[in-house]
Amino acid sequence: MQARVDAECARRGRDLLHGGAAALLGGLRPASRWKAPVLEVGYGGGLDRDLHLGGCGLLLIPSYFCRQKPVSFADPDLPPVLLYPPAPSGPAPQFRPADASLSALLGRTRAAILRTVTHGATNSEIARAVSVSTANASHHTTVLRDSGLIASHRHASTVLHTLTPVGAALLRLPDQDRRSTLQNS
C-alpha cells in the first residue's frame, strides 16, 4: 500500500514539476476535471460541494482506501484537503532479452535501478522496487550518477533521480530491423 501511495506522490510531483498546476490537477481524471480556474470534483449520488480555497492552496492526499470518488473535509475551518484514489499501478516490468546484456554490463542491481529510474524515482522508491536498503540504493545511484547515466535533483530531504540522455540510450532495445538487415547483407 505504501509503495502505491509513494508512487502516486512521485507521479503527481513530476506532473507539477514538468507541467505546473494544470498538469497536476489535470492528472486527477477521471475522479476530477480541471477547467481553469475550477477543479470539478464529482462526489456521486448527486452530492456536489464547493471547496473554496481563499488563497490557502489545496492539499492533495492520495488515499489507498479512497475508492473511485474523491473526498474533502466537511469542516470549512480546516485547510482545504482533497483525498483521492491513486492512479492504478501499471503492469510489472517484463524481462527483455536486452536486460541480460545490461545486467552483464552494470550488474544486476544497478541495471534494475536504472530501469526503475526510467520515469524518475526517489531512493526509497528505488529501494522498494529493487528490494535493497535505502542506503544501498543511495550508493548505487551515486555510482550511476558519477557515470553520467542518471541525474539527481534534491528538494528538501528528498532526492529525485532521473535518466540522462546517455542512461536513456543505454536502456533502448537494439533496432532489430536494422540489425537483421546488416546481418543479411
Residue type, 75: D
**Are residues 106 and 150 in contact, defined by beta-carbon separation less than 8 angstroms?**
no
Judgement on whether residues 138 and 161 belong to the same structural domain of the protein: yes
As for how many domains the chain has, the answer is: 2
β 158-163/121-122 pair status: antiparallel
State yes or no: pLDDT of 45 exceeds 70. Answer: no
Which stretch of 42-56, 65-79, 150-164 has the lowest confidence by average pLDDT? 42-56
Block residue for cell numbers 492539499: 59
Which stretch of 105-109, 142-146, 178-182 has the lowest confidence by average pLDDT? 178-182
Instruction: Say if residue 127 is exposed, middle or buried (CB neighbours under 10 Å; 0-12, 13-18, 19+).
Output: buried
**Any domain includes 180:** no
Tally of CB atoms within 10 A around 153: 11
**Any domain includes 181:** no
**Any domain includes 48:** yes
What is the spatial order of strands in the sheet that 71-72 belongs to?
59-62, 81-84, 71-72
Domain extent at residue 159: 97-171
Of 84, 110, 138, the residue that ends a domain is: 84
